[in-house]
Amino acid sequence: MNFALTEDQKMVQDMARDFAKSKIEPVAMALDESHEFPEKLIKEMGELGLMGVNIPEEYGGAGFDTVSYSLAVMEIAKGCSSFAVTMSVNHLVCEIIRLYGSEENKQKYLVPLASGEALGAFCLTEPQAGSDAQNQKTTAKLSGDDYILNGKKAYITNGTYSNVFIVTAVTSDKDAPKKEISAFLVEKDAEGLILGKPEHKMGQCASNTIEVTLENVRVPVANMLAGTNGFKVMMNGLNSGRIGIASLCCGLSMAALDEALAYAAERKAFGKPLNRLPVIQDKIAEMGTLLEASKLMTLNAAFVKDSGSNYAKTASMAKYFAAENCLKIVDEALQIHGGNGYVREYKIEKLYRDARITSIYEGTSEIQKVVIARQMIR
Ligand code: CAA
């Protein structure tokens, strides 16, 4: 077994690390305060190929593998997880169009998304359909060559700035024996697509999250992905998205560990630096070990995806493990900071808030275990 990175993987990792250090880290704390979406910097990431790392070059991407993508998300998330979630959701949208879009869909939507000229949003969640994602109320009714969509989507990442939205809707009749869910590509300028105000969130404040309402939105049949298999489309997309979020968790944990190490070297207690105290060394060892395991599981999931095998289980395991341990790592890193960790001046306070969503979005930890168990038992 060879764990060494290839030259390409190292190059992508270095490039993402340089960008995060030079462009993201200097502004991350201020953006957290202002809740501003960093539109210009996201565009710059696109120019570097960071918005379509593992999408083939013929479709506007950088043409690298999923391991490279995962390494890039880790570095960007180490700079600020708001940038990483923006990037990860865009890749999720790209992946769905790559897998299920027609050639026309790919040229029209995937090329601009993967090259970073445009941004994408994934609209599955509804006010009553979070973990129970099949409980969809949005409807799509056929009318000539178009479907007419009506409904509401909640917690949509990138919504305000997206050019294309993948939207699920129920296409079967109310009394049909089996509910059919379909997925549609909806353009931002579609009449009746109403974008809500950005949510005021606890963390990841420089990422954009809104409610999207659809009022008689006309979508051409040509923008329907995989017929009535829309739920499967979204689930398969989420498998890939979960590698992105697992990578984000690793990057966030890397940042928290760095903060803890720096603080423990600087701060003195009982006449010596904190890092000389066994109780602190125990915490550092625990955090380092959990992070190492999270990274290995995440890169393994990316590797399994690249190898072409079914990766639903490994992706959910990585997302579950990396998110739960990200929460533990930021918590211990804050604990090492003592009271200082509880005030805004210290970066760990931001990391702690940023981390809380990771065991919730793209499938809660509880849902990851449902996916893992179903893959193991079938
Ligand atoms: N990969 C591929 N197929 C999957 C799958 C997966 N991970 N999970 C389920 N499926 C398939 C099943 O095999 C099944 O197919 P068949 O009908 O052919 O058997 C079909 O989907 C329905 O699955 P279930 O019977 O298991 O359906 P369920 O309703 O009991 O449970 C669930 C499904 C796994 C709980 C699903 O609803 C789920 O994943 N929920 C969480 C939704 C989620 O992750 N939302 C995140 C929102 S996006 C987001 O957060 C982005 C962001 O902004 C950061």
pLDDT at 167: 98
Q: Give ranges for CATH 1.20.140.10 in the chain.
A: 234-376
CA of 250 to the centre of ligand 1 (A): 24
CA 231 to chain centre: 19
Q: Give the pLDDT means over successive 10-residue stretches in the chain (378 positions).
A: 94 98 98 98 98 98 98 98 98 98 98 98 98 97 97 98 98 91 98 98 98 98 96 98 98 98 98 98 98 98 98 98 98 98 98 98 98 95
Question: What is the atom index within ligand 1 of the atom nearest the CA of 85?
Answer: 54
Given the residues 95, 211, 349, 362, the one annotated as active site: 362
CA of 279 to the centre of ligand 1 (A): 42
Instruction: Write down the CATH number for the domain with range 7-119.
Output: 1.10.540.10
pLDDT at 174: 85
CA of 235 to the centre of ligand 1 (A): 5
At residue 221, what is the residue type?
V
Ligand 1 pocket mutation pick from 88, 232, 245 by most atoms within 8 angstroms of CB: 232
Q: Give ranges for CATH 2.40.110.10 in the chain.
A: 121-230
Q: What CA–CA distance (Å, rounded) separates 316 from 369?
A: 7
pLDDT at 175: 86
Q: What CA–CA distance (Å, rounded) separates 256 from 352?
A: 8
pLDDT at 2: 86
Say if CB 170 and CB 140 are below 8 A apart.
yes
pTM for the model stands at 0.98
The vertex-21 CA angle with 17 and 25, nearest 5°, equals 130
Q: What CA–CA distance (Å, rounded) separates 304 from 159?
A: 31
pLDDT at 378: 80
CA 164 to chain centre: 17
Which superfamily, per CATH, for 234-376? Answer: Butyryl-CoA Dehydrogenase, subunit A, domain 3 (1.20.140.10)
Task: Give the pair of three-digit tokens for residue 277.
Answer: 């105290």
Beta strands 120-123; 272-273: pairing state: unpaired
Ligand 1 pocket mutation pick from 126, 128, 179, 235 by most atoms within 8 angstroms of CB: 235
Residue nearest atom 18 of ligand 1, based on CA coordinates: 232
* 3-state secondary structure at position 61: coil
pLDDT at 77: 99
The radius of gyration of the chain from alpha carbons, rounded to an integer in Å, stands at: 21
Q: Give ranges for CATH 1.10.540.10 in the chain.
A: 7-119
CA 58 to chain centre: 24
pLDDT at 1: 80
Q: Which CATH architecture has domain 121-230?
A: Beta Barrel (2.40)
CA of 207 to the centre of ligand 1 (A): 24
The string of DSSP codes covering 91-150 is HHHHHHHHHH--HHHIIIIIHHHHTTSS-EEEE--BTTBSSSTT----EEEEETTEEEEE
Q: Identify whether 362 is a catalytic site residue.
A: yes
